[in-house]
Amino acid sequence: MGKSITHKIIEKHLVSGEMVAGQEVGLRIDQTLTQDATGTMAWLQFEAIGIGEVRTDLSVSYVDHNTLQMGFRNPDDHRYLRTVAAKSGAVFSPAGTGICHQLHLENFAKPGATLIGSDSHTPTAGGIGSMAMGAGGLSVALAMAGEAYFIPMPKVVKVELTGELTGWAAGKDVILELLRRLTVKGGVGKVFEYAGPGVAALSVPDRATITNMGAELGATTSIFPSDDKTKFFLEKMGRGEDFVELIADADAEYDEVIEINLSELEPLVAQPHMPDQVCKVKELAGKKIDQCAIGSCTNSSYSDLKNTAQILSGKMTPAETDLMISPGSKQVMKMLAREGLIEPLLDAGARLLECSCGPCIGMGGSPVSAGVSVRTFNRNFEGRSGTQDGQVYLASAQTAARLALDGEFTDPATWGPAPERVELPEDVPSIRDLFVFPPADKSAVEILRGPNIVALEDFDKLSDTVEAKVLLKVEDNITTDHILPAGAEITALRSNIPAISQYIFSRVDEGFVGRMKEHGTGVILGGDNYGQGSSREHAALGPRHLGVKAVIVKSLARIHRANLVNFGILPLLLVDPADYDALSEGDDLIIPANAMTPGGTIDITTGSGKSVTVTNDLTKKELEIIQSGGLLNAVREGQA
Ligand code: F3S
């Protein structure tokens, strides 16, 4: 039987397990990336493992999230990241150089390589044929230490692309169409592998937009073949030697096949507050727009911004519509500058922001109260923009730029001719010298810390019987933004767990932290898809610090589930989802944790005599990790 690209890469990197869907496989990881928001903790964890230097082919530490330097906390973190990278043999990317995924695609990602990153949009590198997965910071720390990365062997979905994008349709519309069809839960446990005659005409940046936002499907990752377009891109980046052809065998078998005819796509938009609430742009015609934001790791490439400049050139946005543009990297910025494409942006009234995540995580650029913001980003969860009642819509760069001129949603049929599809200029400037490569002799490097960098606390082992109250009951689709809100004030505390924990569920239930302090331990009850969203491991570390012993839910999002395991919180699944209604906040629970077996059931009893049955999808090893009190304990004890 022929092999898919996914199977070929996994087979080459397999260190344990069998390639049978659902069974755990251990993978050798070639590359890692970290970003400052989650990476500071990952590096503290790497230090705690105590092996000295990274054992991957390449590890890169990017600073792109908290680049605003208000007070000492962020700059102290950046200095720590620079010095710990130098000491540990990793590459450092300073604040302002660009967004991790755009930079990694341009400078380091390789076809056929495995990459894990402490950021859920790491699959961006799938656009170049890397098997790239978002992971918890601790998993990344372990991969940097040369340990395998464990995942359930994914199912492989072939996305057969036919036809060709026409008019105003863009790569973003391909993934919005998939989200419309499959929803934010449609990709769990799956790799989306793109194939078919429609692939050849899609540029690497378009492909990277699609694989980036495969994360919103909940997918393990997404991947494109490595072909002539990949070769062209790598050669333009001065990395022609990194090219290898990587295509699926003609008789490869897949678990599912989905077809998308690119010729039929038209501009789409995801409506508030979920990336799968997708409709056609024309269906919203007449709705006023307060703000457009072009950038993020999803749509901030040269082609996105060149098209933006072409659309805006010689025109002006209305005074009521704020337009912000964040280039994905200094390389993109330099290419725009060389071609005289910055001036049309400025003259159209746009605000040119730093090459960083910026407004994507509410780091500046929040919309006005109840304001409508059209963004080229990948997420529009409630409150993520920094404005709790902001109405965020997700669209392509071309759509956002065109709508910025109209100041309201309009029918693309009235937009006139679409800008030409562009890839890269003849001469692409390098920014390689802006990265800080580690010195050969690291003995003189001193790791510099500040007062906000607090060493990790030790966590207790799991007790045989957990007795704790339900201290919070939440609905379906709780995101990591619900668990720990984003924003400058909070994320600046990312290397200080006692301080950041004070914000856990603060926008859902202000009293939660107080109740946890009062009782010392607690259980969270949740619905379906609990913990969806980002790889933010503080959304598990924070609750653990407060004393959360277990979450009992209908279903769990993949990365958050892994983070719960890593930090020793029991992820329990209701056998009968209707039992969600049988449990209430305030119930005293008795959980016979020592009776748990992988995949087995246990009965939880409440003080009032009720009983509910829960199961788990834990492997033997994961159960042992939780019993040890988390992965760091288990690694130190030699169990993992
Ligand atoms: Fe940054 Fe937003 Fe991407 S926070 S890494 S631009 S999802």
Q: What is the pLDDT of residue 558?
A: 86
Q: Which of 151, 84, 91 is nearest to 116 (CA)?
A: 151
Q: Is the pLDDT of residue 639 over 70?
A: no
Cα of 379 to ligand 1 centre, how many Å? 9
Q: Is the pLDDT of residue 623 over 90?
A: yes
Residue 236 has pLDDT above 70, yes or no: yes
**Predicted local distance difference test score (pLDDT) of residue 192:** 98
The beta strand positions in 262-399, using DSSP E, are 268-270, 278-280, 291-294, 322-325, 351-352, 372-375, 391-394
Tokens 């719960």 — which residue? Answer: 564
pLDDT, residue 489, reads 82
Closest-CA residue, ligand 1 atom 1, reads 357
| 536 is annotated as an active-site residue | yes
Q: Are 513 and 505 in contact, with CB atoms under 8 Å apart?
A: yes
Query: pLDDT tens digits for 420-468?
Result: 999 999 999 999 999 999 999 999 999 999 888 987 888 899 999 999 9
E strand spans, 39-153: 58-62, 91-93, 114-117, 131-134, 149-152
Q: CA gyration radius for the chain?
A: 24
Mean pLDDT of the 224-230 span? 98
d(CA 371, CA 408): 12
Order of all β-strands in the sheet with 31-35: 91-93, 58-62, 31-35, 114-117, 131-134
pLDDT of residue 640: 64
Q: Considering 534, 535, 555, 628, which one is annotated as catalytic?
A: 534
Helix (H) or strand (E) holding 24: strand 24-27
Is the per-residue pLDDT at 632 higher than 90?
no
Percent of the chain with pLDDT over 70: 100
Q: For ligand 1, is residue 73 a contact (CB within 6 Å)?
A: no
String of DSSP letters for 111-124: TT-EEEESSTTGGG
Q: What is d(CA 398, CA 301) in angstroms, rounded to the nearest whole number?
A: 12
Mean pLDDT, residues 238-255 taken together: 98
Is the pLDDT assigned to residue 622 strictly greater than 80?
Answer: yes
Find the angle CA(164)-CA(195)-CA(116) to the nearest 5 degrees: 115
Q: Positive or negative, the Cα torsion across 242, 247, 248, 251? A: negative
CB of 355 within 6 A of ligand 1: the answer is no
Alpha carbon dihedral 378, 384, 387, 389, in 10-degree steps, equals 80
422's CB contacts (< 8 A; 6+ apart) are: 302, 303, 306, 307
Which ranges of 122-227 would DSSP assign to H, the alpha helix?
Answer: 137-144, 171-182, 204-212
Residue 213 Cβ inside 6 Å of ligand 1? The answer reads no
> Within the chain, how many helices (H) and strands (E) appear?
20, 26
Averaged over 161-176, what is the pLDDT?
98
Q: Is 379 a catalytic residue?
A: yes
**Residue-wise pLDDT tens digits, 283-340:** 999 999 999 999 999 999 999 999 999 999 999 999 999 999 999 999 999 999 999 9
Q: How far is the CA of 361 from the centre of ligand 1 (A)?
A: 7
Exposure letters 546-557 (e unless 16+ CB within 10 A, then b): bbbbbbbbbbbb
Q: In a 3-state reduction of DSSP, which class is residue 229? A: helix
Confidence of residue 68 (pLDDT cuts 50, 70, 90): confident
Indicate the residue type of 390.
Answer: G
The predicted pLDDT at position 514 comes to 97
Rounded Cα gap, residues 223 and 243, in angstroms: 15
- Between 492 and 119, the more confident residue is 119
Q: Is 486 in the pocket of ligand 1 (CB under 6 A)?
A: no
**Has 119 been annotated as catalytic?**
yes
* pLDDT tier for residue 534 given thresholds of 50, 70 and 90: confident
Q: Which residue in this structure is represented by tokens 């309201």?
A: 408
Q: Give pLDDT tens digits for 273-282.
A: 999 999 999 9
579-595 confidence digits (pLDDT tens):
999 999 999 999 999 99
- CA–CA dist 367, 153 (Å, integer): 41
> 474: which residues sit within 8 A by CB, 6+ positions away?
482, 505, 508, 524, 525, 526, 527, 530
ipTM surpasses 0.90: yes
Q: Which of 7, 13, 78, 379 is catalytic?
A: 379
- What is the spatial distance between Cα 175 and Cα 126, in angstroms, rounded to a whole number? 14
Of 152, 171, 141, 161, the C-alpha closest to 43 is 141
**Distance between CA 283 and CA 268 in Å, rounded?**
9
Q: Is 66 in the pocket of ligand 1 (CB under 6 A)?
A: no
CA atoms within 13 A on the CB side of 137: 27
pLDDT of residue 592: 97
Q: Say whether 76 is catalytic.
A: no
**Active site (annotated) includes residue 544:** no
Sheet holding 24-27, edge to edge: 14-16, 24-27, 149-152
**What is the percentage of the chain residues whose pLDDT exceeds 90?**
89
Using CA atoms, how far apart are residues 494 and 66, in angstroms rounded to an integer? 10
> Is the bond preceding residue 519 a cis peptide, omega within 30 degrees?
no
Residue 66 alpha carbon to ligand 1 centre in Å:
11
Q: Please report the atom of ligand 1 found closest to the CA of residue 363.
A: 4
119 within ligand 1 shell (Cβ under 6 A): yes
Ligand 1: centre distance to CA 212 (Å) = 10
Query: What pLDDT, in 10s, does the model give residues 169-220?
Result: 999 999 999 999 999 999 999 999 999 999 999 999 999 999 999 999 999 9
The pLDDT, as a whole number, for residue 523 is 98
pLDDT of residue 38: 86
Domains of the chain with bracketed CATH: 5-264 (3.30.499.10), 268-414 (3.30.499.10), 466-630 (3.20.19.10)
CB 508 within 8 A of CB 536: no
Residue nearest to atom 3 of ligand 1 (CA): 297
Q: Which amino acid is at 332?
A: V
Which 3 state secondary structure label does DSSP give 372? strand
CA separation for the pair 478, 286 (Å, rounded): 32
Q: Reduced to 3 states, what is the DSSP secondary structure of residue 41?
A: helix
